[in-house]
Amino acid sequence: MSESPLLVSDHGAVRRITVNRPDKLNALNAATLDALLVAFDAAADDASVRAVILTGAGPKAFVAGADIAEMNQLTPVQGRDFSLRGQRMMRRVEKMPKPVIAMVNGFALGGGLELAMCCHLRIAADTAKVGQPEINLGLIPGFGGTQRLLRLAGRAATLELCLVGAPIDANRARELGIVNRVVPAAELEAETMKLAEQLAGAAPLALRGTLDCINVGGECGIEEGLEYEAAQFGLMFATQDMREGTSAFLERRKPVFGGQ
């Protein structure tokens, strides 16, 4: 059996998933896409996991892109299938019932930026660079880049990043709304874990309801989104976590959420 392209470790209620192909700058080939899908399915099903950190191995790259050597040999039908494979995996991450943080430790280009964008939050080292350089290969983004970048950064920035193909630094990415936070590279792991632990300590059902509402609201009209939000809000009143959270507030103590 071939070695897994991922490293998976648990730190309390936080699961860390690391793309482990540093010699290829963690490029996404078909096997890595499949392994990520399995890993996120497992994290979703594991009740002990309340938040997930996704990152890349080595000091240079989060994920530098899709595996160009593999793509070079694909036929048009295989190319479409490869695109759908990546989109399916990234949609799985986007629809996770638990928060996923991309810890962008280096280059996040092409498929790497697409992978980061499907996560719910992104923290980047101040040395990181992001971009959609597929135009330089005679390609277009294929794992959802045109769509998620448009929603995060707007039309003008998306057109420039995809048509020009030049990377931008982490601070510019933050200005455009592509990443949430930029921290010194030496502090990246500590700051990401701090945020993940904060999320892991929050009410799991409320986290899931919030993620669901934002996912639904991003894909429908406001009336439908508001109706869905009201339904999810009402459901929270059936949970022990809601009783615990409100009681703790009234009693001036820290709540302990059990996910029920």
What is the widest separation between alpha-carbon atoms in the chain?
Answer: 64
Q: How far apart are CA 143 and CA 252, in angstroms?
A: 46
Could you confirm whether 175 is annotated as catalytic? Answer: no
Give the contacts of 182 (CB within 8 A, at least 6 positions apart): 123, 124, 125, 126, 128, 170, 171, 173, 174
Q: Which amino acid is residue 184, in one-letter code?
A: P
Helices (H) and strands (E) in the chain, counts: 11, 10
Q: Which of 94, 114, 197, 224 is catalytic?
A: 114
**CA-only gyration radius of the chain, Å:** 19
Which residue bears the tokens 């809601």? 242
Is 115:90 a contact under the CB 8 Å cutoff?
Answer: yes
Q: Which of 125, 133, 131, 142 is nearest to 55 (CA)?
A: 125
Give the contacts of 129 (CB within 8 A, at least 6 positions apart): 106, 107, 108, 109, 167, 168, 169, 170
Three-state secondary structure string covering 188-217: HHHHHHHHHHHHHCCCHHHHHHHHHHHHHH
Q: Which of 70, 134, 223, 224 is catalytic?
A: 134
Could you confirm whether 114 is annotated as catalytic? Answer: yes
Q: Which amino acid is residue 257, in one-letter code?
A: F
Quote the DSSP letter at residue 103.
E
| Positions marked active-site | 114, 134
